[in-house]
């Protein structure tokens, strides 16, 4: 089978562990992981931070969005070695001292339904507001265009953002 | 300020019971769970859309360090089949595969990587067979037979009057064939969960589904163990839209967990999900509709051919639904509808929000617009002239609960901002962009319909902690069912949200309520509470009276406990106190009933209907063929609103999902193989694709004497959108689109044709 040949060429992922250190939600972490382990898996499996979701694994849906050194990234595309020495903010870090205003706005305006895109979406909104205090329509559309939501049709998400820009 | 405009007449919302956990991600989805000694499962699916299996050798895989079990068809102790209506899909194929999602083997290993590697070491020898990639080819006498009874899964028809004769008398006839694509549910959480063998010999299945009890039934049959040995925890889920109604990974997880004695987690990748998951039925629908000069529709002939893919699942019911709704809300004297659902080697099509209504309504509303254009009548007026009255029978002549919904939504949409030019419109930015407006309406049945087992039920009790515990066998997949239960309980019981504990989606502790499908959840919760509230309140009040000496008629249920007419600041007796007093004989009320159905024996015929009208304004770029929906309005008649934010979310979310169906989405298959395998080629709407202006109007009035309460709105918001957008495209550039998703090439080509240019010049 063609499939088999490709697989044989792939090096076993069990090889080559490296030590990385990173700050996740303000806490320093030292880990011994495969150099190519995805940041999404490091968070979900090594650190039990399952708030960050995985849905497409190819950088197309944003369910795995986290903020790394101040920038919004898809954690399914970031490898362990790339996350080394970086500072990461995940959804679990956002509401540590009570609900963040973004979370409140999502609650009040129906910015979610099933909640699966929500951690990534809220993190993307956080990145948007970190960049622009008062984002324009274009900035909002651009900033969230990498985050898919199948449930809401984005109406509630936009209402939540509107509420935040008004306050 | 940001110039979006999302409005509605829905006001006064509440936070969802699951809200805080969702925005903080404290909520664990079933695919987030892990257990000690947990293994990872992977499923090997067929390489070919159609082939004989000559041999399977798992030896190399079994020898790979870290692999704990490999299973093939030989390892299925019970019935090696599943399927909601009748079981025809192999859990693990024995000697033949019929589509690329067919499972051939499965592996449990210590890590996901090892499991993945092991799959590749399983040697399967196939002998490819001819592939049927088109339902029309499947119907040819020379076509290979995919199932023992041939390639026809199901046929359904409806006939009244005599269409042939009636067409002779028509002044205008429109005939057209519409083609609808294979849409993917694209729930953000792919199928998955963990199956855990318990110490007492039972298993717990933590995996999303829309009907936990049904999963339990099907799993018991596969595993050959009694249902009582299986606990299904089926909620919460990261979306479903019908797609997780049928079994997906559960049988493999369960077989592997039993074989290894360890918890087994399976979480499909998006590619695996696309390959194995259900889709919406592609349909080809031919309609011939004739009317008199005065705009009375006299005859309507419909032929539906549905591509159901390799296996049945709910395919027969989807076809019945499409046949039933083929004349929609219009009263037509002569109707003949014939539908056939055909097996092919394509992906399995099954249950999907709208359930066959989307396809057939697209065609029906297309006919209305074409007829109106031919007759020179305003399309709204043509609809009005043929619209059902409140006490007219249903679309297949059956008795239904009287409803004025069709007229209500049509009237509401005709008063919409968009159709009355009140909406502030950005005018076309260039001469190469043309705008147009379209309107369509839809009628949609709720519940599973006549002749289908559609039981419902619920339980309310005062538990040990003094909480009013409300239990339903439903699942929460985003639709807001928990809020509906909470809001209804507060209203019907009189307690506060703090007094309530809601239990759903766990077969060990909920009564059977039927499936969380067919827009039935809200409706069934309401019905159950109507039945249970009286006896429940009575028992609480009697106990309170007994404890306090205050007569029952001076007591009522309120926040935290039972209040007397005199008590002003606190209850006379709290729920906790009553719970303590009744600990030997806890107060518990259960109910069981059936979803209301029509008394007429029409398979699948519905009794309760909801309605929607949609108006859309599009901008068509005639150079690139890109269509953008600028404004979208919907009016919906589905009875009282229980949870406004949820209702709005269902209609907005449904609208955008339908926008994707119209303009973007198609799970493309070539020769039985998926071409679109992930979100890089299967495009669902992003925030950049949605209308920047949406307005939703909920019409809450029920017809006089209607005792059936709120109808669900999970599906209705998806139905009228596609025909409205397509009519708007016609309005903009004069092109009648018949095939979805709308093709950019088709638009560009059409615009370049001479007639179209003329049409455009006259329009300018
Ligand atoms: S899972 Fe990372 S972008 Fe989709
Ligand atoms: S809330 Fe379900 S995908 Fe966004």
**With contacts defined as CB-CB under 8 Å, which chain A residues touch B4?**
137, 158, 162
Partner residue opposite B649 with nearest CB, options A8, A99, A156: A156
Distance A79 CA to ligand 1 centre (A): 13
Across the interface, whether the CB atoms of A116 and B686 are under 8 A apart is answered: no
Last residue of a domain, one of A40, A75, A94: A94
Q: Which residues pair with B610 in a beta bridge?
A: B444
Q: Which of A41, A100, A150 to mutate to test the interface with B (most CBs of B within 10 A)?
A: A150
Residues B746 and B613 in one domain: yes
Quote helix, strand, coil % in chain B, to nearest 5.
30, 25, 45
B16 → chain A, closest CA residue: A107
Residue B166 lies in a domain: no
B112 → chain A, closest CA residue: A13
Q: Which of B 664-693 lie inside 8 A of A, CB atoms?
A: 678-680, 684-688, 690, 692
Partner residue opposite A3 with nearest CB, options B13, B120, B241: B120
Q: How many angstroms separate the CA atoms of B719 and B357, rounded?
A: 7
The minimum CA-CA distance between B38 and chain A, rounded to whole Å, is 12
Residues A89 and A121 in one domain: no
pLDDT confidence band for B12 (50 / 70 / 90): low
pLDDT confidence band for A109 (50 / 70 / 90): very high
Residue A48 lies in a domain: yes
Partner residue opposite A58 with nearest CB, options B113, B241, B678: B678
Query: What ipTM was estimated for this complex?
Result: 0.96
Index of the ligand 2 atom closest to the CA of residue B238:
2
Q: Which ligand is nearest to the CA of B188?
A: 2
Instruction: Note the pLDDT of residue B11.
Output: 81
Last residue of a domain, one of B538, B568, B594: B594
Residue B763 lies in a domain: no
Residues B608 and B727 in one domain: yes
Q: What angle do CA B392, B396, B399 make, to 5 degrees?
A: 45
pLDDT tens digits, residue range B324-362?
Answer: 999 999 999 999 999 999 999 999 999 999 999 999 999
Q: Cα dist. B543→A59, B508, B576 in Å?
A: 60, 29, 12
Q: How many angstroms separate the CA atoms of B162 and B265, rounded?
A: 57
Across the interface, whether the CB atoms of B2 and A140 are under 8 A apart is answered: yes
pLDDT at position B475 over 70: yes
Partner residue opposite A61 with nearest CB, options B239, B652, B679: B679
pLDDT tens digits, residue range B586-644?
Answer: 999 999 999 888 888 887 889 999 999 999 999 999 999 999 999 999 999 999 999 99
**With contacts defined as CB-CB under 8 Å, which chain B residues touch A155?**
6, 648-649, 652-653, 656, 690, 694
Instruction: Note the pLDDT of residue B1.
Output: 44
**With contacts defined as CB-CB under 8 Å, which chain B residues touch A145?**
686-688
Average pLDDT over residues B26-35: 98
Residue B637 lies in a domain: yes
Residues B437 and B294 in one domain: yes
Residues B331 and B389 in one domain: yes
Task: Report strand pairing: B561-564 vs B230-233.
Answer: unpaired
Residue A4 lies in a domain: no
pLDDT at position B36 over 80: yes
Residues A34 and A50 in one domain: yes
The residue count of chain B comes to: 764
Residue B360 lies in a domain: yes
Instruction: Note the pLDDT of residue A1.
Output: 42
Protein residue whose Cα sits closest to atom 3 of ligand 2: A149
Instruction: Note the pLDDT of residue B756.
Output: 57
DSSP string, B653-714: HHHHHHHHHHHT----EETTEES--STTTS----TTSS-SEEEEEEE-PPPTT--S-PPP-T
pLDDT tens digits, residue range B352-410?
Answer: 999 999 999 999 999 999 999 999 999 999 999 999 999 999 999 999 999 999 999 99
Q: What angle do CA A29, B117, A83 make, to 5 degrees?
A: 20
Residues A30 and A89 in one domain: yes
CATH code of the domain in which B38 resides: 3.90.1170.50
Residue A89 lies in a domain: yes
Q: Is the CB of A61 under 6 A from ligand 1?
A: yes
Task: Report strand pairing: B264-267 vs B67-71.
Answer: unpaired
Residues A81 and A125 in one domain: no
Report the number of distinct structural domains present in chain B: 3
Across the interface, whether the CB atoms of A137 and B4 are under 8 A apart is answered: yes
pLDDT tens digits, residue range B720-763?
Answer: 999 999 999 999 999 999 999 999 999 999 988 855 555 555 54
Site to probe by mutation for ligand 2, drawn from A111, A149, A153 as the one with most ligand atoms within 8 Å of Cβ, is: A149
Instruction: Note the pLDDT of residue B426.
Output: 53
The minimum CA-CA distance between B79 and chain A, rounded to whole Å, is 30
Across the interface, whether the CB atoms of A110 and B648 are under 8 A apart is answered: yes
The minimum CA-CA distance between A148 and chain B, rounded to whole Å, is 6
Summary mean pLDDT of chain B: 95
Residues B721 and B631 in one domain: yes
Residues A52 and A125 in one domain: no
Partner residue opposite A141 with nearest CB, options B1, B477, B687: B687
Residues B310 and B227 in one domain: no
Instruction: Note the pLDDT of residue A15.
Output: 64
Residues B620 and B547 in one domain: no
CATH code of the domain in which A72 resides: 3.10.20.30
Residue A116 lies in a domain: yes
Q: Are B691 and A154 a contacting pair, CB within 8 Å?
A: no
pLDDT confidence band for B279 (50 / 70 / 90): very high
Distance B52 CA to ligand 2 centre (A): 40
Residues B570 and B518 in one domain: yes
A62 to chain B, any CB pair closer than 8 A? The answer is no
Q: Are B372 and B438 a contacting pair, CB within 8 Å?
A: no
Across the interface, whether the CB atoms of B237 and A91 are under 8 A apart is answered: no
**Which helix H or strand E contains B67, and what residues bound it?**
strand B67-71
Residue A7 lies in a domain: no
The sign of the CA dihedral B721, B722, B725, B728 is negative
Distance A73 CA to ligand 1 centre (A): 10
Residue A115 lies in a domain: yes
pLDDT at position B13 over 90: no
CATH code of the domain in which A132 resides: 1.10.150.120
Residues A83 and A129 in one domain: no
B679 → chain A, closest CA residue: A60
Distance A117 CA to ligand 2 centre (A): 5
Site to probe by mutation for ligand 2, drawn from A61, A91, A115, A159 as the one with most ligand atoms within 8 Å of Cβ, is: A115
Residues A84 and A109 in one domain: no
Residues A79 and A34 in one domain: yes
Residue A5 lies in a domain: no
Q: Is the CB of A68 under 6 A from ligand 1?
A: no
Site to probe by mutation for ligand 1, drawn from A61, A72, A124, A147 as the one with most ligand atoms within 8 Å of Cβ, is: A61
Distance B644 CA to ligand 2 centre (A): 18
Last residue of a domain, one of B594, B622, B655: B594
pLDDT tens digits, residue range B648-705?
Answer: 999 999 999 999 999 999 999 999 999 999 999 999 999 999 999 999 999 999 999 9
Last residue of a domain, one of B579, B594, B609: B594
pLDDT at position A4 over 80: no
Place of tokens 């926040």: B559
Last residue of a domain, one of A59, A94, A129: A94
pLDDT confidence band for B3 (50 / 70 / 90): confident
Closest residue by Cα to residue A114 from B237, B520, B353: B237
Q: How many angstroms separate the CA atoms of B175 and B163, rounded?
A: 13
Q: Is the CB of A63 under 6 A from ligand 1?
A: yes
Residue B11 lies in a domain: no
Residues B371 and B412 in one domain: yes
CATH code of the domain in which B471 resides: 3.30.365.10
What percentage of chain B has pLDDT greater than the value 70?
97
pLDDT tens digits, residue range B552-589?
Answer: 999 999 999 999 988 789 999 999 999 999 999 999 99
Residues B290 and B272 in one domain: no
Residue A6 lies in a domain: no
Q: Cα dist. A20→A28, A46, A53, B113 in Å?
A: 11, 12, 22, 21
Q: First CA to last CA across chain B, in angstroms? A: 33
Residues A72 and A117 in one domain: no
Residue B519 lies in a domain: yes
Residues B639 and B734 in one domain: yes
CB atoms within 10 A of CB B431: 9
Place of tokens 């109910």: B591
**With contacts defined as CB-CB under 8 Å, which chain B residues touch A111?**
23
Q: Which of A 67-106 lie inside 8 A of B, CB atoms?
A: 91-92, 94-95, 99, 103, 106
Which residue range(s) make up the domain with A31?
13-94
Average pLDDT over residues B54-81: 98
Partner residue opposite B688 with nearest CB, options A115, A141, A155: A141
**With contacts defined as CB-CB under 8 Å, which chain B residues touch A106?**
23
Residues A121 and A78 in one domain: no
Instruction: Note the pLDDT of residue B764.
Output: 43
Across the interface, whether the CB atoms of B47 and A1 are under 8 A apart is answered: yes
Residues B438 and B315 in one domain: yes
Q: Are B476 and B510 a contacting pair, CB within 8 Å?
A: no
Residues A140 and A125 in one domain: yes
Q: How many angstroms separate the CA atoms of B153 and B391, rounded?
A: 35
Which residue range(s) make up the domain with B632?
283-449+600-756
Q: pTM for the full model?
A: 0.96
Q: How many angstroms separate the CA atoms of B460 and B467, rounded?
A: 10
Residue B215 lies in a domain: yes
Report the number of distinct structural domains present in chain A: 2
Q: Is the CB of A65 under 6 A from ligand 1?
A: no
Q: How many angstroms separate the CA atoms of B577 and B716, rounded?
A: 45
Q: Which ligand is nearest to the CA of B186?
A: 2
Residues A64 and A39 in one domain: yes
Distance A75 CA to ligand 1 centre (A): 7
SS3 of residue B409 by DSSP: helix
Please state at what angle helix B250-260 crosses helix B212-223, rounded to 10 degrees: 50
Q: Is the CB of A62 under 6 A from ligand 1?
A: yes
Residue B148 lies in a domain: no
């Amino acid at each position: 089978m063609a499939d088999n040949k490709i697989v044989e060429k792939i090096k076993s992922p069990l090889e080559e562990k490296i030590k990385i250190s990173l700050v996740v939600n303000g806490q320093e972490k030292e880990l011994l992981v495969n150099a190519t382990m995805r940041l999404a898996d490091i968070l979900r499996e090594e650190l039990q931070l399952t708030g960050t979701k995985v849905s497409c694994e190819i950088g197309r849906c944003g369910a795995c969005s986290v903020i790394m050194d101040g920038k919004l990234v898809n954690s399914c595309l970031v490898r362990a070695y790339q996350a080394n020495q970086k500072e990461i903010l995940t959804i679990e870090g956002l509401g540590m001292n009570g609900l963040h205003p973004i979370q409140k706005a999502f609650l009040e305006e129906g910015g979610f339904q099933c909640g699966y895109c929500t951690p990534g979406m809220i993190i993307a909104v956080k990145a948007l507001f970190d960049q622009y205090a008062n984002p324009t329509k274009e900035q909002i559309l651009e900033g969230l265009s990498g985050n898919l939501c199948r449930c809401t049709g984005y109406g509630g998400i936009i209402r939540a953002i509107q509420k935040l820009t008004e306050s | 300020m940001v110039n979006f405009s999302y409005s509605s007449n829905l006001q006064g919302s509440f936070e969802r019971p699951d809200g805080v956990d969702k925005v903080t991600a404290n909520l664990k989805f079933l695919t987030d769970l892990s257990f000690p000694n947990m293994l990872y499962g992977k499923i090997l699916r067929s390489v070919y859309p159609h082939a004989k299996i000559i041999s399977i050798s798992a030896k190399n895989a079994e020898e790979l360090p870290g692999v704990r079990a490999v299973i093939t068809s030989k390892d299925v102790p019970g019935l090696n089949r599943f399927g909601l209506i009748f079981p025809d899909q192999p859990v693990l194929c024995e000697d033949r595969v019929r589509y690329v999602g067919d499972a051939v083997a499965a592996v449990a290993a210590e890590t996901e990587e090892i499991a993945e590697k092991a799959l590749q070491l399983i040697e399967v020898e196939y002998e490819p067979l001819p592939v049927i990639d088109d339902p029309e080819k499947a119907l040819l006498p020379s076509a290979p037979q995919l199932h023992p009874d041939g390639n026809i899964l199901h046929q359904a028809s409806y006939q009244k009057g005599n269409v042939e004769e009636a067409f002779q008398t028509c002044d205008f006839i429109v005939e057209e064939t519409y083609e609808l694509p294979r849409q993917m549910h694209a729930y953000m959480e792919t199928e998955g969960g963990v199956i855990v063998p318990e110490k007492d010999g039972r298993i717990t299945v933590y995996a999303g589904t829309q009907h936990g009890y049904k999963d339990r039934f099907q799993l018991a049959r596969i595993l050959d163990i009694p249902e009582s040995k299986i606990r299904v925890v089926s909620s919460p889920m990261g979306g479903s839209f019908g797609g997780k109604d049928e079994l997906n990974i559960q049988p493999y997880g369960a077989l592997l967990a039993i074989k290894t004695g360890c918890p087994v987690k399976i979480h499909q990748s998006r590619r695996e999900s696309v390959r194995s998951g259900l889709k919406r039925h592609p349909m080809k629908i031919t309609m011939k509709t004739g009317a008199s000069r005065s705009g009375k529709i006299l005859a309507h002939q419909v032929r539906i051919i549905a591509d159901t893919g390799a296996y049945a699942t709910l395919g027969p019911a989807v076809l019945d639904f499409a046949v039933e709704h083929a004349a929609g809300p219009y009263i037509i004297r002569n109707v003949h509808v014939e539908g056939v659902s055909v097996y092919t080697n394509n992906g399995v099509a099954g249950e999907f929000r709208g359930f066959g209504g989307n396809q057939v309504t697209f065609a029906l509303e297309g006919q209305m617009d074409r007829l109106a254009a031919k007759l020179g009548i305003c399309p709204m007026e043509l609809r009005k002239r043929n619209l059902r009255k409140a006490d007219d029978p249903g679309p297949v002549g059956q008795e239904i609960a009287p409803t004025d919904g069709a007229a209500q939504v049509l009237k509401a949409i005709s008063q919409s901002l968009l159709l009355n030019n009140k909406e502030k419109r950005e005018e076309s930015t260039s001469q190469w962009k043309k705008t147009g407006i379209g309107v369509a309406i839809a009628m949609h049945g709720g519940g599973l319909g006549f002749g289908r087992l559609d039981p419902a039920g619920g339980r309310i009790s005062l538990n040990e902690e003094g909480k009013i515990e409300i239990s339903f066998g439903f699942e929460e997949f985003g639709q807001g069912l928990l809020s509906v239960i909470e809001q209804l309980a507060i209203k019907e019981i009189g307690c506060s949200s703090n007094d309530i504990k809601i239990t759903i989606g766990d077969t060990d502790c909920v009564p059977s309520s039927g499936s969380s499908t067919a827009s039935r959840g809200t409706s069934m919760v309401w019905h159950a509470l109507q039945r249970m509230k009286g006896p429940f309140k009575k028992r609480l009040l009697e106990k309170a009276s007994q404890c306090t000496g205050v007569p029952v008629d001076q007591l009522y249920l309120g926040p935290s406990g039972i209040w007397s007419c005199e008590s002003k600041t606190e209850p006379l007796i709290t729920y906790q106190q009553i719970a303590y007093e009744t600990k030997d004989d806890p107060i518990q009320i259960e109910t069981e009933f059936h979803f209301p159905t029509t008394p007429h024996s029409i398979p699948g015929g519905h009794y309760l209907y909801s309605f929607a009208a949609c108006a859309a304004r599009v901008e068509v770029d005639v150079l690139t063929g890109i269509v953008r929906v600028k404004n979208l309005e919907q009016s919906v008649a589905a009875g009282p609103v229980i949870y406004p934010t949820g209702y709005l979310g269902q209609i907005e979310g449904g609208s955008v999902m339908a926008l994707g169906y119209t303009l973007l989405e198609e799970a493309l298959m070539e020769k039985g193989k998926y071409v679109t395998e992930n979100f890089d080629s299967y495009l669902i709407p992003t925030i950049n694709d949605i209308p920047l202006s949406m307005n939703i109007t909920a019409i809450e009035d029920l017809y006089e004497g209607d005792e059936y309460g709120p109808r669900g709105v999970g599906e209705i918001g998806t139905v009228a959108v596609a025909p409205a957008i397509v009519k708007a495209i016609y309005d903009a550039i004069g092109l009648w689109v018949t095939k979805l998703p709308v093709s950019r090439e088709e638009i560009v080509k059409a615009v370049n044709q001479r007639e179209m240019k003329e049409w455009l010049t006259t329009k300018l």
